[in-house]
Amino acid sequence: MKKLLSIFAVAAFAFSANAGTLDDVKNRGFLKCGVTTGLAGFAAPDDSGEWAGLDADMCRAVAVAVFGDRSKVEFITTTGKSRFPTLASGEVDMLARNTTWTISRDVNLGFEFVGVNFYDGQGFMVPSALGVSSATELDGATVCIQTGTTTELNLADFFRLNGISYEALPIETNDEGKENLFAGRCDVYTTDASGLSSTRAAASNPNKWKVLPEIISKEPLGPLVRHGDHQWGDVVRWSLNAMIIAEELGVTSENVDAQMSSNVPEVLRLLGVEGNYGEMLELSNDWAYQIIKQIGNYSESYEANVGPDTPLEIARGLNALWTQGGILYAPPFR
């Protein structure tokens, strides 16, 4: 399958990579962005049919950077299986589809991950009544686990390293895991932490369930583009970075107009008051200003979609800025 995919990638590459994606997007008049068919907090249609979520905001940010208009984006829904061929064949300009950055996807499939917009990782959820506060206390537990995934291997490694035993209850889908846990057929459910949060939020009484603090794998999720078109890769990369830098500098959608007369040089560079960074990217000079004005900085997007005030209640954790105990770090804007 992987080999087949890379053949598609190469074939598609042969006749689509020469034309610059940025020019294609500009000529077309809107961005085509691949998202999930629905994942709580990341991309899902709201009641009015607009796509909302952390990944949807990423798409909109790029559309704003290119067109200065958050509505100039067409969301193409993709599944776990169809996402890579869709990107490789040029049907979408970029993917923002909670995709884990791995070496084989980055290198072998011919894609380029331009950054990380959410650091996820495999976690555990248990009933609060179980009285467990750490995953190392789970000796002898029955664990609901999706078969054929990397989570299965991570789980085995984790329990072996800690010298404790478990019994696996194999399941196929997230819904199945949820039902089994709620019905008490397993003591623990393990999958990516963001998935656990949405499972917990879907419970009739979320407080009966708790996500344990241990995160046992690295799942950096980020937007990706096709290999070989660095100009376009830069546009997507710096659209994400601009949101992170804006949070670092305390620029928000609320105060961005006031910040235009700030005395901090990096703020002035970011907002296009000084320098010609927009021109370097072949964008207008106020591209980052527009992103912050229309979408907000990273923190605003996070809080609105997945943060503690949403039903998902995902704490910033690793996704906090490097200055605040997380690992979110963008190169300087200069």
Minimal distance, residue 307 CB to another protein, in Å: 11
For another protein, the binding residue among 45, 121, 127, 317 (CB under 8 A) is: 45
What phi and psi values does residue 268 have, to the nearest 5 degrees?
Answer: -65, -40
Distance of closest approach, residue 142 Cβ to another protein, in angstroms: 23
List binders of another protein among 255-314 (CB under 8 A): 305, 310-312
CB of 204 to another protein, least distance (A): 6
| Nearest residue (CB) to another protein, 99 versus 262 | 99
Cα–Cα distance between 192 and 206 in angstroms, integer?
17
| Cα–Cα distance list, 139 to 143, 181, 213, 214 (Å) | 11, 17, 16, 15
Stretch 52-71 residues interacting with another protein (CB under 8 A): 52
Of residues 171-230, those binding another protein (CB under 8 A) = 175, 198, 201-205
At residue 330, φ and ψ (nearest 5 deg) are -115, 145
Task: Give the contact letters, 69-88, x = binds to another protein (CB under 8 A), - = no.
Answer: -----xxxxxx-xx--xx--
User: In this structure, are residues 322 and 289 in contact, taking their beta carbons and an 8 Å threshold?
Assistant: no
The DSSP secondary structure of 82-151, one letter per residue, reads THHHHHHTTSSSEE-S--B--HIIIIIS-EEE---SEEE-EEEEEEGGG---SGGG-TTEEEEEETTSHH
Buried b (16+ CB within 10 A) or exposed e, 45-60: beeeeebbbbbbbbbb
Q: For residues 117 and 199, which CB has a smaller minimum distance to another protein in the complex?
A: 199
- For residue 44, state whether it binds another protein (rule: CB under 8 A): yes
Angle between helices 21-28 and 54-67 (to 10 degrees): 80
CB of 107 to another protein, least distance (A): 21
Rounded Cα gap, residues 8 and 109, in angstroms: 9
Min CB(258)–another protein separation in Å: 31
Taking the complex as a whole, how short is the minimal distance between the CB of residue 186 and another protein, in angstroms? 19
Token readout for 146 is 């999706």
Residue 23 lies near another protein (rule: CB under 8 A)? no
- Write out the H or E segment, with its range, that includes residue 60: helix 54-67
Beta carbon nearer to another protein, 201 or 260: 201
Least separation in angstroms between CB 306 and another protein? 8
- Contact string 150-169 vs another protein (x = CB under 8 A): --------------------
Give the Cα separation of 94 and 96 in Å (integer): 7
Place of tokens 């890379």: 6
CA–chain centroid gap for 187, Å, is 29
Q: Which is nearer to another protein, 128 or 324 (CB)?
A: 128
Number of residues that bind another protein (CB under 8 A): 40
To another protein, the closest distance from the beta carbon of 53 in angstroms equals 8
Q: Residues interacting with another protein, by CB under 8 A?
A: 8, 11-12, 15, 36-41, 43-47, 49, 52, 74-79, 81-82, 85-86, 89, 91, 175, 198, 201-205, 305, 310-312
